[in-house]
Structure 1
Amino acid sequence: MDLQKQLNEDMKQAMKNKEKQRLVVIRSVKSALQNEQIKQGKELTEDEALTVLGREMKQRKESLQEFEKANRDDLVAKIKAEMEVLETYLPEQLSDDELQKIVDETIVQVGASSKSDMGKVMGAIMPKVKGKADGNQVNRLVVKSLS
């Protein structure tokens, strides 16, 4: 089932079950997807939809860090709940071991030997792990492997 249909079904279910928090997140994601679709002027592919979902998750992670710094426990709990809902629509995340294996294979494929080759390695890895791993995590593993 494509993401838009899944979101519509889940939105109906959330309305029936009176799950306000879930409904707010689903509407937010639908809105972000619709805005991206208007911006591009065409239907979104699954990859493009995943990019939008990843961006939504990243925004919430950044907000979470800021709220934690400010000791706003009420908002921290709200953001964590939103992130849990969003995670149901994202593909399963790769473990550190799986990600490290992809990093090592890509370094060999690209022929990278030093940190100056980092751009080539990151450019080759990111399409492989799109939506399945955080870019910062990938970056950290690449730096460690090239050191």
Structure 2
Amino acid sequence: MRLFSLVSVLAFIVSCTSQETPPASRSAQFTGYPQNLFSSFKTDCAGPGDKYVKTATGSFECRETLPPEATAYLILSFDGYPQNLPQIVTRLSSTKNQAGYRVDADMFFLVPQKSGDTLRIPIESEELDRVFSRLYTKYGGTPV
């Protein structure tokens, strides 16, 4: 009987303790190379219209084709070139440092222009930053 009382008291204390949520960040520190994170990133970038690209040592991108509505919006809003469709790009980069590895994420749209240039439109969102923080935490990182 005493054990159940102790468990109830501990459950009450834990439920009243503030639960720390990681800061909203697109960067995280890992003690070792986060191979599982990068493997999952590559696996998730295998759908129709997706292209996985290694852009540099420790830097990878997933370039995805957008739905028709988003494609049309970007072409019309940013004077895009309909013969070369816009893409959404998610980039993960790792850098070795004294504490292990720092991983940085970036998301942006690439909108090809009629002139031949490509317009890069960053995607900024605190909710998206929170999603990255949760992802990093799930894979053993500490958002910074």
TM-score band w.r.t. shorter chain: under 0.3
The structure where strand makes up a greater share of residues is 2
Q: What TM-score does the superposition give when structure 2 sets the normalisation length?
A: 0.24
